[in-house]
Structure 1
Amino acid sequence: MARSVIATETVQTAGTDKHPRPVGRAGHRPGPLLVGIVAILVAATFVPIAYVAWSVISTGPSRVYALVARPRVGELLINTIGLVCVTVPLCIVIGIGAAWLVERTDVPGRALWRPMFVAPLAVPAFINSYAWVSVVPSLHGFWAGILVTTLSYFPFVYVPASATLRRLDPAVEESARALGSSPTDAFLRVVLPQLRLAILGGGLLVGVHLLAEYGAFAMLRFATLTTAIFEQFQSTFNGAAGSTLAGVLVLLCLLLLVGEAAARGNARYARIGSGVQRQPSPHRVHGKMIPAVAALTGLAVLALGVPAWTVTRWLWIGGGSVWANDEISTATVQTAGLAAAAAIITTVLAFPFAWVAVRYSGFFARFVEGSNFATSSMPGIVTALALVTVAISFATPLYQTISLVLAAYVLMFMPRAMVNLRSGLAQVPPGIEEASRSLGVSPTWTFLRVTLRLTAPAAAAGASLVFVAVATELTATLLLAPTGTNTLAMRFWSLSSELDYAAAAPYALLLVALSVPVTLVLLGQSARAAAL
């Protein structure tokens, strides 16, 4: 059973079951205990949305219309939608193309290319912006935003597509070729449909990240709805204007969710064959070897070479003095502690969501699944302000505590854990659980000894993604962190905003270094998935 590591539930072999029967309780409906647990968690995830709705309602329809109908909002909307419409397809094309060249052709250096195209996940988008602005100071605007975010986010498509291609049964493609299909037709009619879930899931993650991204676009001086919301709250604390813009952002996220759900439908690819799967014969690129290697090399240089060179250059310019700072060690310890705690808590809380999404069908399951994405698409500052408002009004002891910071991380990054758990659960053959139950094993022990063990790699991948996200989170941490808290991202942003790029370089290096080992977990999970 292959387990994709990012936003997808794909398993591929010669046989597929596109409309599986949901495995759940009698009547295919979740029991009251599960419904109760999930309802409480869903209610918590809707706190930021409720905050935005309350702010908009209290503002009044006439003022809301006046705020939304401004030409500036139209410009922000065009920028944001344009960014999504261009960047998501680019990430899909680059991710699928790179995965195909690495996994299914005879291009040399496969062992090198695999980790190299996962590594950009360890480079936050705002560090990529810092790198590119250092190299090209005049770089700013729409195309600059597309360049940086495409290089930062294409691995969200590459990783699951790569895992899918490694598990794809070559007999399916060979059968199509034997029936007269050309290589291109075989790819389009046989391979590409089995990459559909990887494309949709990865594309959704890219789109959600684009809607919520702040640091990269602020450094590139490209205005989006998110940067405008941050500026509203930061400069004038104009809650009405900021909350109205946040409402528009939530609507955009809902459109993404509806589009992805409609395209995905109820389809699921599950292996129904058995036995050891042979490795596919690589496609020969013949006379196109040089362009193929050049394309992979260029992508690696743009995604990794530019940030690496920039950080190294600023460290060289700064010399040893930039490391003579006690704040560096403190920020590193605090960042690692917060990221580890948030990764564990988020993964545990995401499991009920994933269980309902995979094991049950209907409106309730889709609603539970979609609620996470709607909240995570909101800028971190809006989520933080919502939690501040709730804490001050109903739970004063939580204000200015680490608990509130962790709550924000859970709300913001739940999809990273949930989509991986969803992928792992979707690929657990129902027959294994049913066989365990038929042998007299209780449902609880079946879950612990069978289901949980088989989904453990997916859970580890999800926790890794949450760890990386928390380690590089900026806006919510700035607002919610108790006095004395200084994460690596906070220090980097403070120094880079002051144009002290040399002093910011150590924090950029440590952010990447902290993320690299966890990012390699994703590569390891993908490799193990291909071996199963």
Structure 2
Amino acid sequence: MAPSTVTTPPVGRPGAVVTGVALLLMAATFVPLGYIVSTIFSIGIDRAADLVFRPRVGDLLRNTLGVVVCTAPICVALGIGLAWVVERTDVPGKSWWGPLFVAPLAVPAFVDSYAWISLFPTMHGLWAGVLISTMSYFPLAYLPAAATLRRLDPAVEESARALGSGPVAAFIRIVLPQLRLAVLGGGLLIALHLLAEYGAFALIRFDTFTTAIFEQYQSSFAGPAGSMLAGVLVLCCFALLGVDAGLRGRGRYARVGGGTQRSATRIRLGIGVFPVLVVLAGVTVAALGVPLWTIGRWLHIGGAAVWNLGEIGHALRQTLGLATVAALLATACAFPVAWIAVRSASVFARLVEGANYVTSALPGIVIALAMVTVTIRWAPPLYQTASMVIAAYVLLFLPRALVAVRAGFAQVPVGLEEASRSLGKSALATFFLVTLRLTAPAAAAAGALVFVAVATELTATLLLAPLGTRTLAMRFWAFSGELDYAAAAPYALIMIVVSVPVTYLLFNRSRAVAGA
């Protein structure tokens, strides 16, 4: 009698449920683009062209591209410079500078803007936007640069210095080319944030596409003019993605050879340590000291009266509730996409994963306008409901969850899943007993990233939130818009406190990855 065999489906082949969820998510990511295209056809090509090719759009394009072109290189240069000082020199207190340069990520950009205009009420225009944006977003360049420097083989730099190159020359010739991917990645992320930024620029009265779209929505309720501005903004996003892809090219950067990774020999700063410390302290004061001092000042001026515990508690509960639900849902949705992306090398896998990353390039206001239009036209009962707010959050922040969950999936040995299936376990049982347990740390990180993003999200919430919704960001925005800076201070402080744990998590993960 021939022995019986147990046939199990290949682990690399997605089941019907996984494929169905992935297809549904991919379709949802195309809703914002479909909204733009449908608007163009509904109003006609000629009318759309009239709305796009007008002086107002030219002014907005000049302002928007101006702040991107000025801010992104400054952030990248500052981030790389700070990372090199912390990772390659003997600057005193190097264990403290790293966390301090990541901490500004815990301060939302619109809170930074509120802090600076509290000190200098006449601040407005391009250079005010560049200053505030730089202090808000340079950590996005610092993190990848510092992680890359920790992974680079120090022997190459030391050989260059032994052959007569000074520290600066060795950095330019040897280190900087190896930072190319980190530079481009950080620069792209900063540029996309700048295209989507609303609150920081609105407070300093600096008009960009995002602020103009929001104003247009408020005046004409998602009229054609606002939709066309959104279309131009989407084209700007895709142009940035194209430039980034072209600059990256096909170059590969890897550390060759095995052996134990060792730390680089620290460069002695000597007398130069004093100006370096002045620069490091100045950046810290501008990025952290100004917002924290301003918030503390307004809390002192307002006294106990600004601590309306009932209102603050209500806003905190709503914020935590929306952020928790969105984080859980986005993380759950990331699992089928990550599974397909890691376990399959098909064209379908690349399409599913790529569609979600393209969505991350779209500003929140475009996604919110698309959700408004879809619900008004085809699903009126869902308009201004919590379900639509959460759906927008998932579309906005699913890519953040996907990055973390995908990394977790990549570290799960396929053999363990196959062994579970060969022992008669179902695909669902294998997922809970093997896959989920091994990816739990990555899933927790993904949920935390989405949680803090939702807790400080402003633009989409303002457009989509149902009546009665008062999140921390909305209450802060309402008070700061009325110039009641003292009443806004408690909400700013709580948003920062909520964001600090995730910022610390990002810093630790960056160090862990670099040391892997």
Same fold (TM over 0.5): yes
Instruction: Tell me how far 1:90 sits from its aligned partner.
Output: 1.0
Distance 1:369 1:91, change over 3 A: farther
- Listed as ranges, the matches of 1:280-429 within 5 Å are 280-354=264-338, 367-421=351-405, 428=411
1:273-325 Cα distance to aligned partner (Å, 9 max, x none): 55542222212222311111111111000000110111111111101011034
Pair 1:183–1:125, CA change in 2 (3 A): same
Q: After TM superposition, list the pairs within 5 Å mapping 1:241-256 onto structure 2.
A: 241-256=225-240
Pair 1:182–1:460, CA change in 2 (3 A): farther
Query: Closer, same or farther in 2 for the Cα pair 1:252/1:307, shift >3 Å?
Result: same
Asked if the contact 1:347/1:463 (under 8 Å) is kept, the reply is yes
- What is the aligned counterpart of 1:162 among 130, 146, 155? 146
Alignment-derived partner of residue 107 in structure 1: 91
Q: Tell me whether 374-383 or 151-160 shows the greater mean CA deviation.
A: 374-383
Structure 1 residues 292-301 or 444-453, which shifts more? 444-453
Partner of 1:478: 462
Give how far 1:330 is off.
1.1
Contact 2:116 2:290 survives alignment (8 Å): yes
Match of 1:194 among 169, 172, 178: 178
Aligned equivalents of 1:168, 1:452: Cα separation in 2: 33
Asked if 2 retains the 8 angstrom alpha-carbon contact of 1:464 and 1:519, the reply is: no
Q: CA 1:272–1:467 in structure 2 vs 1: closer, same or farther (change >3 Å)?
A: farther
Q: Which ranges of structure 1 fall in alignment gaps of 5 or more residues? A: 1-24
**Structure 2 residue 56 is matched with structure 1 residue 72:** yes
| Counterpart contact for 2:196–2:365, Cα < 8 Å | no
Residues 361-370 or 465-474, more deviating? 361-370
Counterpart code for 1:203: G
Shift of the 199–357 alpha-carbon distance from structure 1 to 2, 3 Å rule, reads farther
Give, as a single letter, the amino acid of the residue that structure 1 aligns with 2:184: L
CA distance in structure 1 between the aligned counterparts of 2:404 and 2:61, rounded to whole angstroms: 31
1:463 shift after superposition: 3.2
* 1:277 matched to 2:274: no
Instruction: Give how far 1:32 is off.
Output: 7.8
2:193 maps to what in 1? 209
Distance 1:351 1:260, change over 3 A: farther
Contact 2:167 2:267 in 1 (8 A): no
Note closer, same or farther for the CA distance 1:74–1:408 as it changes in structure 2 (3 Å cut): same
Report the equivalent of 2:3.
Answer: none
Find the residue that maps to 1:312 and give its secondary structure.
helix
TM-score, normalised by the number of residues in structure 2: 0.87
Question: Counterpart of 2:333 in structure 1: which amino acid?
Answer: L
Q: Take 1:183 and 1:317, find their aligned partners in 2: how far apart are those partners? A: 49
Question: Using the alignment, how far apart are the partners of 2:451 and 2:256 within structure 1?
Answer: 34
Contact persistence 1:55–1:239 (CA under 8 A): no
* 2:112 counterpart of 1:128: yes
Aligned partner of 2:502 in structure 1 is 518
Structure 1 residues 524 and 453: CA distance shift in structure 2, 3 A: farther
Say how many residue pairs are matched: 502
Partner residue in 1 for 2:216: 232
Deviations 1:446-500, CA, capped at 9 Å, x for gaps: 9889887776555544433322221111122123223332100000000110111
C-alpha separation in 2, matches of 1:453 and 1:118: 30
> Could you say what secondary structure the match of 1:129 adopts?
helix
Distance (whole Å) between structure 1 residues aligned to residue 439 and residue 246 of structure 2: 26
Q: Are 2:129 and 1:145 equivalent residues in the alignment?
A: yes
CA deviations on 1:78-121 (whole Å, 9 max, x unpaired) are 11111111111111111111111112211011122111111111
CA contact (8 A) 1:253 1:377 kept: yes
Q: Aligned-pair distance for 1:418? A: 3.2
Contact 1:140-1:222 within 8 A present in 2 as well: yes
1-structure distance, mates of 2:108, 2:462: 17
Distance across 2 between alignment mates of 1:438 and 1:169: 37
The 1-side partners of 2:446 and 2:182 are apart by: 15
Determine the C-alpha separation between the residues in 1 that align with 2:138 and 2:77: 9
Q: TM-score, normalised by structure 1?
A: 0.85
Question: Does the 8 Å contact 1:253/1:373 carry over to 2?
Answer: no
- Deviations along 1:215-251, one digit per CA (max 9) or x if unpaired, are 1111010000111110001022252001101011111
Give the structure 1 partner of residue 478 of structure 2: 494
Which of the pair has more CA radius of gyration? 2
- Give the superposition deviation at 1:343: 2.2
- Per-residue displacement from partner, 1:127-167 (whole Å, max 9, x unpaired)? 11100000011100011111111110111111122222223
* Equivalent-residue separation in structure 1 for 2:343 and 2:145 (angstroms): 24
The answer to whether 1:503 aligns with 2:487 is yes
How many angstroms does 1:385 deviate by?
Answer: 3.0
Q: Residue 521 of structure 1 aligns to which amino acid in structure 2?
A: L
Q: 2:46 aligns with which of 62, 72, 92?
A: 62
Deviation (angstroms), 1:199? 1.9
Overall identity of the aligned pairs, in %: 60
The answer on whether the counterparts of 1:121 and 1:155 sit within 8 Å (CA) in structure 2 is yes
Cα distance in 2 between the residues matched to 1:503 and 1:492:
8
Say which structure, 1 or 2, has more relative contact order (CA 8 Å, 6+ apart). 1
Tell me if structure 2 keeps the 8 A contact 1:433–1:450.
Answer: no
1:311–1:505: 8 Å Cα contact kept in structure 2? yes
Q: How many angstroms apart in 1 are the aligned matches of 2:166 and 2:129?
A: 38
> Residue 468 and residue 102 in structure 1: after superposition, are their counterparts in 2 closer, same or farther (change >3 A)?
same
Cα distance in 2 for residues equivalent to 1:416 and 1:440: 30
Residue type of the partner of 2:476?
Answer: F
What is the CA-CA distance between 1:340 and the residue it aligns to? 2.4
Tell whether the 8 Å contact from 1:208 to 1:373 is kept in structure 2 after alignment: no
The one-letter code matched in structure 1 to 2:186 is G
Contact 1:464–1:522 at 8 Å: present in 2 too? no
Q: Distance in 2 between matches of 1:360 and 1:419?
A: 16
In structure 2, how many angstroms separate the alpha carbons of the residues matched to 1:403 and 1:292?
Answer: 50
